Every structure is written in structure tokens, then in C-alpha cells.
Amino acid sequence: MKLINKISRYFLISSSVIFIIIFLGIYFLLENSLEREIDEKLSDIFYNVVNEIKQGKQVSFYPFVQVEPTNNFYDKKEFRDVQIFSGEENEPEPFRELTSYASINGKNYKIIVRSSLIEKEDIFASILTIELSAFVLFIVILFFINKTVSQKTFSDFYATLKKIEGFSLKDNLPIAFAKSDIEEFDKLNKSISFLSEKAIGEYRSLKEFSEEMNHEIQTPISVIKSKLELLIQSNELSENNLALLDTALKI
């Protein structure tokens, strides 16, 4: 796996975590303020409804306003989320409802006010869309940045690699690099140059040693061999002698 891909992978993972956190953050913040907003609106409507009833008007607008006369009276305001079948499709839709009681002109009423939450869902859908497209855009940009980086920044690195591959001790030439404007690569190049010089030096002294060694060993062997060869030219040798010489000369 290429280094740049490895870095990008970490980058992608961490950024997706960040995106999720941002999304959740926005979700909860918005949810909170939206709920408060809706609850306030519902309270307003509730008072309006109470006022209308006080004026003797008949108020009912299902599912948004529901007024039921009741014998009981509780001094409480209850907010909750519900699913209500309404509209043309007759499908359950999310609603926020406020259930409260009012005592008007001696009569008790249970008043339920509702507000649709579809709006809220739309808002979240929009946020999610924006977030996702931002994420996709981010990945696309990252891809192009990587491509450029690996082409431009890593060109020095690949040049270095190529020189190392072409290096041979026998050429007797240390590796020389052009200066890189990237500090890490420049350091790498310097170390490799140094290493190659050292290797060549060691190789040379080893070579000299083995040449010396070769000379030291081959000279006496040459002498011995030449004497044996002269010896076999003699006509005074027995077959046994010749066999011995033959063995000695074979080595």
C-alpha cells in the first residue's frame, strides 16, 4: 500500500468520525431548539383556543385542534410526540401534541393542540444531504490532492529509488543526488550517498585484500605446479611415480 494511500485512509476514517459527530451535534442542537419552538407555538395556539372558547366560539380543527368537554380537570400541560392518521393518504404522520385542561365559564375542557413534525423531518433530511455531499466533495478533493502530492512530492523519492536500484559496487561511483527541497528526502539522500561511499570503500579494501591473498597463494602453487610438470618430463620415472605426480597435478 502506498504511503499516501495509508495516510489518506487514516484521514478518511478520522474525518468520517468527525462528520458523524458534527452531524449528531447539529441534530441534537436543532432538535432541541426546534422542539422548544414547536412547544411555544403549541402553547400560543392553546391560549388562542381558550380565548376563542371564552368568546363563545366553537373551535375544532382535527387533527390540529381538538376540544372535548370533560368532567375532570387537571392543572397540567403535557407535551408528547404521536403518530396520527390524517391527510389524503391516511398514513401515520408524526405530530407534536399538547394536552391541557381549561376551565371556561364553569365548564371543563380537555384541549389538545397539535403541530405537524414533517417540517422537522425535512430539515433533518436537508442537513443530512448537505453533510453527505460535503463528505463526497471532501473525498474527491482528497483524491486529487493525493494524486498531485504523489506526483510532485514523491518524484524526488522515486528518483532516489531509481538511483539506488542502478547502484553497483563495481562501478566504483558513489550515488550522487540532486538537492531535494524536501528536508526528509534530502536527509535520506545524504545518508544513502554516505552509505554508498562507505560500501565502495569497504568493497575496494576487501578486493585489494583478496587480490593480495590470491597473489600470495597462487605464486607458490604456480611454482609447485611448474616443478611437477617439469618432473613428469623425466624419462626416469616409474609408473608409480607418475601416478603420484598425476594425482598431485590434478589438484
> Which residues here bind another protein, judged by CB under 8 A?
207, 211, 214-215, 218-219, 221-223, 225-227, 229-230, 232-233, 239, 242-243, 245-246, 249-250
Shorter beta-carbon distance to another protein: residue 3 or 249: 249
Shorter beta-carbon distance to another protein: residue 152 or 250: 250
Are the beta carbons of 43 and 111 closer than 8 angstroms? no
* Residue whose C-alpha is closest to residue 4's, from 148, 150, 141, 144: 150
Minimum gap (Å) between residue 203 Cβ and another protein? 13
Shorter beta-carbon distance to another protein: residue 17 or 249: 249
Shorter beta-carbon distance to another protein: residue 89 or 236: 236
User: Angle between the 155-165 and 183-232 helix axes, to the nearest 10 degrees?
Assistant: 10
Minimum gap (Å) between residue 249 Cβ and another protein? 6
Minimum gap (Å) between residue 166 Cβ and another protein? 21
**DSSP-based three-state secondary structure for 16:** helix
Burial code of 70-84, b = ≥16 C-beta within 10 A, e = fewer? eeeeeeeeeeeeeeb
d(CA 25, CA 20): 8
Minimum gap (Å) between residue 214 Cβ and another protein? 6
**Torsion (CA) 118, 120, 126, 131 in degrees, nearest 10:** -140
Minimum gap (Å) between residue 202 Cβ and another protein? 17
- Phi and psi angles of residue 169, each rounded to the nearest 5 degrees, phi first: -60, -30
**Torsion (CA) 243, 245, 249, 250 in degrees, nearest 10:** 20
Shorter beta-carbon distance to another protein: residue 59 or 237: 237
Shorter beta-carbon distance to another protein: residue 55 or 238: 238
Minimum gap (Å) between residue 167 Cβ and another protein? 19
Shorter beta-carbon distance to another protein: residue 176 or 251: 251
User: In the chain, which ranges are continuous DSSP H helix?
Assistant: 3-54, 118-152, 155-165, 183-232, 239-250
For the record, the C-alpha cell of 124 comes out as 433533518
Minimum gap (Å) between residue 173 Cβ and another protein? 15
Amino acid in the structure at residue 73: F
